[in-house]
Structure 1
Amino acid sequence: MDITLFLQQMVNGFSLGSMYALIAIGYTMVYGVLRLINFAHGDIMMVGAYVALFSMTSMSLPFGFALIFAVIVSAILGICTDKIAYKPLRAAPRISLLITAIGISFLLENIFQVVFGGIPRSFSVPSFFENIVEIGPITLPVSAIFVPVITIFLLCIVLYILYKTKYGIAIRALAFDISTVNLMGIDANLIISIVFALGSSLAAIGGVFWAINYPSIDPLMGVLIGLKAFGAAVLGGIGSVGGAVLGGFIIGFSEVVAVALFPDLAGFKDAFAFIFLILVLLFKPTGILGINFEKSRF
């Protein structure tokens, strides 16, 4: 593979990894606070993509407003999921929460299959993202550059919220001990709702950008994407926001470059991410940026 093709595939890999990263942040934040693997998170990403498509086609909203609407709807869905499904089980064994998360995932998938059908739908890609940018010998769509930039920008916003705002301080305190936080006069349920809203919003943005880069959506699109994003969160270090982004970049990059290096194995591209994950965790089980949960959060 020549250097030009390698550089082009590297940019494509980081673009793909950016979408995994946006979804992985939601996984790692919810886990950091509740020790819950929210397996419905990938399906919230799917909901965001469908809401954006519906907004542009049926409501004739411009892309920017459709994205905002998708973020709002997904944030509300994340909050409702917590209030209805997870909040009553706060004191229950962890396995109960895990089973509930899987049940919510199946519920969302089947609702959207009944309402929209199982046939993939074409996503209306804004003309801006179809433009081509030439950087020397490298030819790239605008989305391949735009998505990683947006991901880094959103990561900075999340880190600012966590470390520079009173809600961020409350989130990090809540991650240590919910009971103690309640005794200090902080509404723990409100803070948990903020975490779910923030994570679901990022998942919706990731879902919309996924639909832009791969302009076809279906009710089961969040299953494999969600598993890879979860893998990214574990690879980077579950509970670490920066680790989730790093893990997303690594998995996206390895998936694209591996197929470019071994085109005959393109049919097994989904396995590359998990093989790489297994190899890394064999040597560092806590992930690349794994943190000591007794001393710090995020």
Structure 2
Amino acid sequence: MTGIVVLGSTNMDLVVYAARTPKLGETVTGREFRTVPGGKGANQAVAAARAGGEVAMIGAVGADGYGERLRHTLEASGVDTDLLRTAEGPSGTAHIVVDDEGGNAKVVIPGANGTVTELGPGDEALIETAGTLLLQLELPLSAVQSGADAARRHAVRTVLTPSPAQPLPPELLAAVDLLVPNEHEAATLTGVADPRSAAESLLRQVPEVVITLGAAGSLYVARDAEPVRVPVPRVTPVDRTGAGDTFVGALAVALGEGRPMPDALRWATAAAALCVTRPGASTSMPYRPEIEDA
């Protein structure tokens, strides 16, 4: 049995570090440039594997050097890539500016990710073996829906990160067990700025919601449980890229191990807090012993 299957994106992050992000029409001078394997799907897969999960990845890389490096990064972290396709053309890329406060702005080019419009041979059989399916929105929505439907057919817990935020069809939300937006995505989905009110609104469509609140921690609400608020340890952020994906990957591992939600949230929060103290996305994600010691 595979503990966690990730159906999602792989991107090469092209990261510029600068004092601040430029305004429209403005040029600023950066101090460093890096290429870092990323993509929300791959990030969650790496985070979950480093946190001790048994993880397999479904998606696509391009037939280029970035694709080879993306596949290698996943495999080096212990992620099964047997069903990670290689598509003709370029891999996906994310163009990121990180400022001195650790904040970032992104433009994502789908590349090979755009070719994943539905489940391929063997994908549903792999999902059937899982305890948890992790989904995001950097693949075409038709693929996300196909994955969620397959998970529902086989009673697999489905966790959706609704990023990049967009209107979601009721049939997709009906197949989701746990929705994990950040506060901005929750506001986009509901039209409600207050996280608690947004979470209560989302509960009309999904049974459980965790809203991540950046430095303010996270908020969990469920139809049959008391709300839980978890703070973040005080850290000095270097780069917040990948923090949300680290949180979701670690949370999936903790829940798969049977930890109660409050404990799982605290463990995932510790992992995300470690992530923001280091540059990059996949390169910053902590290993299980580090999370246990945090």
TM-score category by the smaller chain?
under 0.3
TM-score (norm 1): 0.26
Higher strand share: 2
TM-score (norm 2): 0.26
**Looking at both structures, which has the greater relative contact order when contacts are Cα pairs under 8 Å and sequence separation is at least 6?**
1
Higher helix share: 1
- Higher radius of gyration, 1 or 2: 1
